[in-house]
């Protein structure tokens, strides 16, 4: 019983970490694109 709970907790933690890294990279990319567009518009 404790073994299955530990497996579930570990797998959910790994999935959450991967999702966090993916979302962080997507947000960073969109912010970078937005800043580049702002620079181009000012010129």
Question: What's the pLDDT tens digit per position in 1-39?
Answer: 999 999 999 999 999 999 999 999 999 999 999 999 888
Distance of CA 40 to the CA centre of its chain: 27
Domain boundaries, position 1: 1-43
Count how many domains the chain has: 1
Q: Please determine, for residue 43, whether its predicted confidence score (pLDDT) is greater than 80.
A: no
Residue ranges in 1-43 assigned as alpha helix (H):
2-42
- What confidence score (pLDDT) does residue 38 get? 85
Q: With 0.75 as the threshold, say if the pTM is over it.
A: no
Distance of CA 41 to the CA centre of its chain: 29
- What confidence score (pLDDT) does residue 31 get? 95
């Amino acid at each position: 019983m404790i073994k299955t709970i530990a497996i579930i907790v570990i797998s959910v933690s790994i999935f959450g970490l991967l999702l966090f890294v993916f979302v962080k990279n997507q947000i960073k990319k969109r912010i970078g694109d937005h800043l580049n567009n702002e620079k181009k518009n000012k010129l």
